[in-house]
Each structure stands twice: as C-alpha cells, then as structure tokens.
Amino acid sequence: MSEATQTAGAIATHDHADQPHHPGAGIYLIVALFLCVLTAMEITVFYVPALKTVIVPVLLVLAAAKFALIAMFFMHLKYDSWTLSGIFIFPLFIAAFMLASLMMLFAYLAHHLA
C-alpha cells in the first residue's frame, strides 16, 4: 500500500499543467480490488438459491457498479472534461432505452406467435 502511495506521489510531480490530472497506481489498485469483490458477489448471487427471486435487480446493480467504476477511474471520466462523459452517457441512455423498448415489444409479440 505504501508503495502505491509513493507512486501516486511521484506522478503528481510529473503532472503537466495542460494534462488532466490522472489518478495514480494506488487508486487503480483499490478500484481493481472493488471490481474483484463485486464480481465475487455476483457469482455468489448466482449460486445462492435463496436469492433467486431478486437475482435480476441485484445483478443489475452489481454490474452497474462495476461499469461505473471502470468508466470513472480506469477510463478517467471522473477526471476528464464533461464533454467526454456526455459523449458516453447519452448513447448509453439511448441504448438502454432501445433495449427496454425492444424487450417490451417482443414480450407483447410472444403472445401472437404462430
């Protein structure tokens, strides 16, 4: 851990004024740790029969958390210009909307299949 903090400090001194501040290895390792824990939780949810009823929302929340961690820290959206976040979040919104609409439309259609 101390080594990681050291590296982070080393980067800070190298920071150029015109470059957005990127986190150091320390942060990256913590995020990676979280990702592993979340994945372990996902797999646990899959294997625990008691959670069958809530499996969909729980898995979705866990996946969203992993998604957000990678996008914010590994892809630096937390540190970069808001424009970049916008370029990413708007398509995500449209994609989610499309996915949900198609699922509903085909759920209706399922009652009308020959």
Under the rule (CB under 8 A), what is the footprint of another protein? Answer: 7, 10-11, 14, 18-20, 22, 24-25, 28-29, 31-32, 35-36, 39, 42-43, 45-47, 52, 55-56, 59-60, 62-63, 66-67, 70-71, 73-76, 80-81, 83-84, 87-88, 90-92, 94-99, 101-110, 112-114
For residue 56, give both structure tokens: 């969909």
Nearest distance, CB of residue 95 and another protein, angstroms: 4
DSSP 100: H
Nearest distance, CB of residue 108 and another protein, angstroms: 5
Alpha-carbon distance 64 to 26, whole Å? 23
Alpha-carbon distance 17 to 39, whole Å? 37
Alpha-carbon distance 46 to 15, whole Å? 43
Nearer to another protein, 5 or 46 (CB): 46
Nearest distance, CB of residue 50 and another protein, angstroms: 14
Nearer to another protein, 1 or 47 (CB): 47
> Is 79 within 8 Å of 22 (Cβ atoms)?
yes
> Is 41 within 8 Å of 62 (Cβ atoms)?
yes
Nearest distance, CB of residue 80 and another protein, angstroms: 7
